[in-house]
Amino acid sequence: MSMAEVVLFHHIHGLTPGVTAFAEALRSAGHTVHTPDLYDGNVFDTIEDGRAYARQVGFDTLLDKGVAAAGELPADVVYGGFSLGGMPAQLLAQTRPTRGALLFHTSIPPKEFGGPWPAAVPVRVHAMDHDPFFVGDDGDLDAAREIVAAATDGELHLYPGDQHLFTDVSLPAYDAEATALVLRRTLEFLADK
């Protein structure tokens, strides 16, 4: 079994202990995981506060910081991101050589990054089936279906529930059972990358 190198971008709350814990679970399986901090050490208790900070800094600036963070790494990494962090992860997966993409709680229409999704890039999308941010008017679910359909090796995994950042053990939205399954599937995906 080969070990993967992963770049894992945090969500709108910042680089929380829960994001770090998820990365540590991947490291414990032998993978190398980088967790760039797009927020320069700022962590927010609520989505609203995190969104206000992201708006203040600028989403394009955060995207640029994500691309810059990956700039020194080899081309054969797997890009992953939680919600907001899915923006740089998806951009990088669509525009650079990569071994795959992991999109947690998010998908962006591929045309936003020059689409379509490259068929040769394996991808896994994980979200809850009643997450209002994912299945609501933002169009993440439609984008996820488009991405998975375009990929030769693409899968969309929907978990029962209505929480957004359910994989973050440090947030109230955390769902231990669903996260265990996400981790298992993520490790299976990484095992051949």
Hey, which residues does 155 pair with through a beta bridge?
124
Domains delineated in the chain = 5-191 (3.40.50.1820)
Cα gap 19→11, rounded to integer Å? 8
Query: Is 155 strand, coil or helix?
Result: strand
User: Is residue 156 within a helix (H) or strand (E), and if so which, with residue range?
Assistant: strand 154-159
Q: At what angle do helices 176-191 and 17-28 cross, to 10 degrees?
A: 40
* Tens-level pLDDT at each residue, the chain (193 residues): 468 999 999 999 999 999 999 999 999 999 999 999 999 999 999 999 999 999 999 999 999 999 999 988 888 899 999 999 999 999 999 999 999 999 999 999 999 999 899 999 999 999 999 999 999 877 799 999 999 999 999 999 999 999 999 999 999 999 999 999 999 999 999 998 7
